[in-house]
A and B are shown apart, each in its own frame.
Chain A
Amino acid sequence: MIPPATRRDFLKQSGALIVTFSAAGVVSELEFVTGVAAQGINGNPGTALDSWIAIAADGRVTAYTGKCELGHGLFTAQTQLIAEELSVPLDRVTLIQCDTALTPDQGTTSGAQSHPSNFNTANLALAGATAREALIRLASTRLSVPVDQLSAKDGIVSAASDPAKRVSYGDLVGGRKFEIQLDPKARRKHPSTWTVLGTPVKRLDIPALATGRFEFVHNVRVPGMLHGRVVRPPTVGANLVTVDESSVRGMPGLVKVVVKKNFVGVVAEKPWQAVQAAAKLKATWSAGSGLPPQRTFHDRMRQSPSRDAFTVNSGDVDARLGDASRVVKATYLYPYQMHASIGTACAVADVQGEKVTVWSASQAVHPLRNTMAMVLGIPPAGVRIVFRMGAGCYGVNGADTVSYDAALMSQSVGKPVRVQLSRQDEMAWENYGLAFVIDQRVALDASGTIVAWDYEGWSPTRGNRPGGNAPGNVVTGFLAGFPPQPFAPRTPAPPPQGGFENGSNTAPSYVTGTVGAESGGCGVVKSERVLNRTVESPFFTGPLRSPARLQNTFAHECFMDEIAALVKADPVEYRQRHLRDPRLKGVLAAAAKTAGWDARPSPRPGARRTGVVTGRGIACVLYEGDNGYCANVTELEVNQDTGVIVVKRCVVAMDAGPISNPDGIRNQVEGGTLQGLSRALLEEVTWDAERVTSVDWRSYRPLYLGAAVPVIESVLINQTEGVAMGAGETAITVAAAAIGNAFYDATGVRLREVPFTPERVKAALQRR
């Protein structure tokens, strides 16, 4: 199940063929635009069937995917997909994932895009269906039986009328190429007929994980490998003045001090030797650029030059606010948060002139191939990036940056180098999830119905995923001399165009989402204005699980709850009144029903003002505007004396189209909900005048396993007629809002700033 270590092993095992090299062109520096956006999140995988599927003489199937396992079960689900579409047993499928020398360029494994990309009617799923139909056609010729009288099972095609007429896949194509293109008309099997996909197949990788046999990127060992350690600047914005190599001369095992512009690292024979040499190395740095005060950071964002864009603007919002029966306003604040992976980032690089192999946990092997070449100053042709799983990343953690670290040091010493970051180096310099300040306003008519929605949100940006052309979007590329993608203020925003695009959930579910002639939103509110303002960030930023969607949904769903409370409506009924999308209405109803929703306005009547009180809250979202429906009913206790919130129960309804693996999606619902809880209650990046101060698990303290956690009940809606949508980022998106709303129900007090720490809770209760 673990992919073979070398290409030679791999070719031996798969029996045949087919190696696809990146179809994506190399993006030149002249085309320096915005990383992933410029290249497309899903890459350019190509349509030759042989680049997706190979069948060996013994009938074993090897499939190649450009979407990788990140701890969410995708390796197993994709293996199920191929077994299903090709009608072979699961254990006859070998899946090769994300290797620039072997697999299709499917861009980045992110944004909950793997199911939309690979489980519908393109790419990997289409390859499976195309291959099955091609095999049946070949069998038809071989057996002289019409195609419509043949069926495939367990890797054998047989005639319905005469079971003796049969031929195996191995006999049909074993070891040879198909030499056909993916057929857009090839028919996927209908979910009602699935026997492998759609079932709770156990994760194929868990036995190795549970017994310490699994090869993480951290476990990659190659002959002659040395160990590197980075030396990052002491403060944000500091530049290297000098490095005193004599400060480490003679240290045991030291191989070399590596310097390239502001990049500094040491290479030693053993990792502990590298750690010690890095700690002892004397480097002189200039003063940093200084950091704005954390306390007033949200206000500062409002005053910074911004790049503005409308998601929607119906043009009549000011008029509706002017003639409204009532106008409601609120402001929501969200901090920077971290990916803070449990294992620090690690990579192994072997740079031999222009021939480079990097074992990396990057979510984006093909894009990384280009930026790696830029960092090393060589052509990309000789660069191979091989994916090996890292610790759960939840977005762009240190996987790309440490790949550059290892490669720069390997290039300098001419030997393979492994680098694993220290906890502090990872936490102080990663691409943080976005802080936000969001102003919400609505106009209500006399009946308490929303007639206009006005959103204005500010969020900071610096860098991003490196994409195919911007290594400076992460810290190592930046230190080595590449700029982050440029930031260009633009005010006022141009009118929205090109259709309704709600990928960041900037528009609430309750508006029509009208751009041009089409309305793509889930709701009924026609008067709508959503203005997004991006400002420059002092820190690197990048996608963190449910990027911007989580923050916006926190603001939308808490605000919706505030309005419902103000007009004394039940929060579920009030949402339903403003929605038109039947599937979003469906998950709301399903979560409420399973939870035994107590239908009444919030707050709970008669609650005491001291001691422990209880409440229930709800939140919902159509993730990315088109990629998975979710609603969460949360029940919690608040200790009003200590300010501690204890979430007791979460009922989470999910509709992500046809379900590939019910236990896999359940695991995602549970994990997303708990990670969302951790972020809502605990997590916040902190800094002083010069540097980030949340650099370990004491200063950035998430939910530990000893904490009391809610019972999480998943309500899965298996929408077999729909398209497959993402499910990895949906549950986390609604968690903070559901907790905030349940807190209000319990106490009658609004929490409008994440995280809901005991201090903040107590302060909010005291203002009551």
Chain B
Amino acid sequence: MSVFTLKVNGRTHSVDVDPATPLLYVLSDDLELRGPKFGCGLAQCGSCTVNIKGQAVRSCVTAVGSLDGSEITTLEGLGSPENPHPLQKAFIDEQAMQCGFCINGVIMTAKALVDRTPNPTDAQIRQAMATVLCRCGANQRMFQAIRRYVQTSTPRRTA
């Protein structure tokens, strides 16, 4: 066991865990965050995605010991039900989910994409989503939500 300091959604946390522990376990069990989710533990579905340094990172295969102290942003770090981030609001407006279990991976992957590429083409969106899985089949609405966000956020692309 070792003590690690994690910066998550603007707050600093200290956790005492085995360095090999995947970040996901720390986020969902030690910090009791509800955004990142365990879907496969194999980096195959995207449900555990968090954003670190602008990248969509699969927290289920990222050992806590490998982190360099960079800020970690999770789905709840973007916004709240009362004050959702514009990307989250686009998903709410489009009713772009069914069971909602995968939505963490979808939104956090889209966030990293649009931060990097403010006006992504449909092909770029599809490529970013190539390894994200939704089993309910809300694909059409999710893409519509991402497009809606891109359209509304383009002037202030650093949001």
Q: Is the interface of B mostly helix, strand, loop or mixed?
A: loop
A21 CB-CB contact with B under 8 Å: no
Residues of A within 8 A of B128 (CB): 706
- A733 to chain B minimum Cβ distance, whole angstroms, is 14
Residues of A within 8 A of B1 (CB): 252
A344 and B38: CB pair below 8 A? yes
Q: Are A704 and B22 in contact (CB under 8 A)?
A: no
> Chain A residues in contact with chain B, CB under 8 A?
70-73, 202-203, 205-216, 218-219, 221, 227, 252, 270-273, 340-344, 389-392, 394, 420, 422-423, 663, 667, 670-675, 677-678, 696-698, 702-709, 711-712
Say yes or no: B37 contacts A218, CB within 8 Å.
yes
| Min distance, Cβ A56 to any Cβ of chain B, angstroms | 24
Whole-angstrom CA separation of A702 from B135 in the bound complex: 8
The one of B25, B33, B38, B142 that contacts A212, using a Cβ cutoff of 8 Å: B33
Min CB distance A217 to B, Å, is 10
B109-128 residues with Cβ-Cβ distance < 8 A to A are: 126-128
CB distance from B88 to the nearest CB of A (A): 5
CA of A461 to CA of B28, assembled, Å: 38
Contacts of B136 in A (CB 8 A): 71, 342, 392, 671, 675
For A227, the chain B residues whose CB sits under 8 A away are: 29
Q: Is the CB of B137 within 8 A of A675?
A: yes
In the complex, 7 of the A-B residue pairs with CB atoms within 8 angstroms, ordered by the A residue number, are A202-B95, A213-B81, A342-B133, A670-B138, A671-B98, A671-B138, A706-B132
- Note all chain A residues with C-beta closer than 8 A to B39: 342-344, 391, 423
Separation of A707 and B130 alpha carbons in the complex (Å): 7
Given A252-B18, A271-B25, check contact A212 B34 (CB 8 Å): yes
- Our pick among A212, A213, A391, A671 for the contact of B137 (Cβ within 8 Å) is A671
Specify which of B32, B102, B127 is in contact with A706 (CB 8 Å cutoff). Answer: B127
Using A210-B91, A212-B35 as known contacts, list a sample of 4 further A-B pairs with CB atoms less than 8 Å apart, ordered by residue number in A.
A206-B92, A342-B136, A344-B38, A696-B40
Bitwise interface map of B from 30 to 65 toward A, beta carbon under 8 Å scored 1, else 0: 001111111111101101000000000000000000
B residues less than 8 Å from A674 (CB atoms): 137, 139-140
Contact indicator B95/A203 (Cβ below 8 Å): yes
Please report which residues of chain B, range 82-105, place their CB below 8 angstroms from some CB of chain A when the two chains form the complex: 84-85, 88-89, 91-92, 95, 97-104
Task: Among A209, A212, A221, point to the contact of B97 (Cβ < 8 A).
Answer: A209
A670/B101 contact (C-beta < 8 A), A207-B81, A270-B25 known: no
The answer to whether B107 has its CB under 8 Å from any CB of chain A is: yes
**Docked complex Cα distance between A707 and B98 (Å):** 18
Kindly list chain B residues whose C-beta atoms are within 8 Å of the C-beta of A675: 135-137
Q: If A71-B99, A212-B104 touch, does A696 touch B135 (CB 8 Å cutoff)?
A: no
A171 to B33, CA, bound (A): 42
Measured between beta carbons, the chain A residues less than 8 angstroms from B150 are none
Most chain-B CB neighbours within 10 Å: which of A202, A209, A211, A708?
Answer: A211
B17 touches A71 (CB 8 A): no
- Set of chain A residues within 8 Å of B131, measured between Cβ atoms: 704, 706
Asked if A209 meets B126 with Cβ closer than 8 Å, knowing A252-B1, A344-B38, A423-B40, the reply is: no
CB pair B100 A272 closer than 8 Å: no
Contacts of A422 in B (CB 8 A): 41
List, in ascending order, chain B residues with CB within 8 A of A212's CB. Answer: 33-36, 74-76, 104
Instruction: Report how many residues on chain B are interfacial, defined by Cβ distance under 8 Å.
Output: 64
CB–CB B40/A391 < 8 A: no
Q: Is the CB of A704 within 8 A of B129?
A: yes
Q: Do residues B95 and A211 form an inter-chain contact, with CB atoms below 8 A?
A: no
Q: Is B78 an interface residue (CB 8 A)?
A: yes
User: Of the candidates B80, B100, B132, which one forms a contact with A209 in the assembled complex, judged by CB atoms under 8 Å apart?
Assistant: B100
A671 to B76, CA, bound (A): 26
| Residue of B with least CB distance to A225 | B29
Nearest to B40 among chain A residues (CB) is A423
* Interface membership of chain B positions 134-159, coded 1 if the CB is closer than 8 angstroms to chain A and 0 otherwise: 11111111100000000000000000
| A-side contacts of B69, CB under 8 Å | none
Given A212-B35, A391-B135, A671-B136, A207 contacting B84 (CB threshold 8 A): yes
Which chain B positions have C-beta within 8 A of A392? 98-99, 101, 135-136
Contacts of A696 in B (CB 8 A): 40, 42, 44
CB-based contact B42/A697 at 8 Å? yes
B42 in contact with A340 (CB, 8 Å): no
Residues of A near B72 (CB, < 8 A) are none
Contact A697 B132, CB 8 Å, known A206-B100, A209-B100, A215-B34: no
Q: Does B106 make an interface contact (CB < 8 A)?
A: yes
Residues of chain B within 8 A (CB-CB) of A705 are 106, 126, 129-130, 132-134, 139, 142
Given contacts A211-B76, A215-B34, A219-B34, contact A206 B18 (CB under 8 A): no
Residue of B whose beta carbon sits closest to that of A207: B81
Nearest CB of chain A from residue B75's CB, rounded to whole Å: 4
Query: Shortest beta-carbon distance, A390 to chain B, in Å?
Result: 8
- Are B101 and A211 in contact, CB atoms less than 8 angstroms apart? no
Residues of B within 8 A of A677 (CB): 137
In the bound complex, CA of A219 to CA of B35 (Å):
10
Are A211 and B88 in contact, CB atoms less than 8 angstroms apart?
yes
Chain B positions 1 through 35: 1 when the CB is less than 8 Å from some CB of chain A, otherwise 0 = 10000000000000001101110010011001111
CB-defined contacts of B40 to chain A, threshold 8 Å: 344, 423, 696-697
**Given A219-B34, A704-B129: A670 and B140 within 8 A (CB)?**
yes
Judging by beta carbons under 8 Å apart, are B129 and A420 in contact? no
Which residues of the partner chain A approach B18 to less than 8 Å between Cβ atoms? 252, 272-273
Q: Are B38 and A72 in contact (CB under 8 A)?
A: no
Tell me, in angstroms, the Cα distance from A678 to B132 when the chains sit together.
Answer: 15
Name the residue of chain A whose CB is nearest to the CB of B21.
Answer: A272
Question: Which residue on chain A has the smallest CB distance to residue B74?
Answer: A212
Q: In the complex, what distance in Å separates the CA atom of A706 from the CA atom of B84? A: 25
A702 contacts which chain B residues (CB < 8 A)? 133, 135
Contact among A71, A663, A709 with B139 in the assembled complex (CB-CB below 8 Å): A709
Contact B140 A709 (CB under 8 A): yes
Please give, as numbers and ranges, the residues of chain B lying within 8 Å of A214 by CB-CB distance: 34, 100
A218 to chain B: closest residue by CB: B37
Residues of B within 8 A of A340 (CB): 135
Q: Is the CB of A704 within 8 A of B133?
A: yes
Please tell me if the beta carbons of A697 and B78 are within 8 angstroms of each other in the complex.
no
- Shortest Cβ distance from residue B66 to the other chain A in the assembled complex, whole angstroms: 15
Q: Contact: B100 with A71, CB < 8 Å? A: yes
Compute how far the CA of A661 lies from the CA of B132 in the bound complex, rounded to whole angstroms.
29
Closest to A215 in B: B34
Residues of A within 8 A of B41 (CB): 422-423
B81 partner residues in chain A, CB cutoff 8 A: 207-208, 210-211, 213
Min CB distance A319 to B, Å, is: 46
Which residues from B are CB-within-8-Å of A202? 92, 95
Residues of B within 8 Å of A671, CB to CB, are 98, 136-138
Closest 8 CB pairs of A and B: A71-B99, A212-B35, A674-B137, A706-B130, A392-B99, A209-B100, A212-B75, A212-B76
Q: Is the CB of A678 within 8 A of B99?
A: no
Closest CB-CB distance, B5 to chain A, in whole Å? Answer: 18
Decide: B100 and A697 in contact? CB cutoff 8 A.
no
> Which A residues touch B42, using CB under 8 A?
423, 696-697
Inter-subunit contact A211/B84 (CB<8 Å): yes
| Docked complex Cα distance between A271 and B102 (Å) | 21
Q: Are A697 and B133 in contact, with the CB atoms below 8 A?
A: yes
Q: How far is the CA of A71 from the CA of B106 in the complex (A)?
A: 16
CA–CA, A271 and B21, complex, Å: 9
The CA-CA distance from A216 to B36 in the complex, in Å, is: 12
Known: A212-B75, A218-B37. A342 touches B29 (CB 8 A): no
Docked CA distance A765–B38 (Å)? 41
Instruction: Write the chain A residue with the least CB distance to B107.
Output: A210
- How far, in whole Å, are A696 and B81 apart by their CA atoms in the complex? 33
The answer to whether A342 and B88 touch across the interface, beta carbons within 8 angstroms, is no
Given contacts A207-B81, A214-B34, A342-B102, contact A272 B139 (CB under 8 A): no
Q: Of all chain A residues, which has the CB nearest B99?
A: A71
Contacts of A341 in B (CB 8 A): 101, 135
Tell me the smallest distance from the CB of A449 to a CB of chain B, in Å: 38
Min CB gap A61→B, angstroms: 22
For B40, B75, B88, B89, which residue has the most chain A Cβ atoms within 10 angstroms?
A: B40
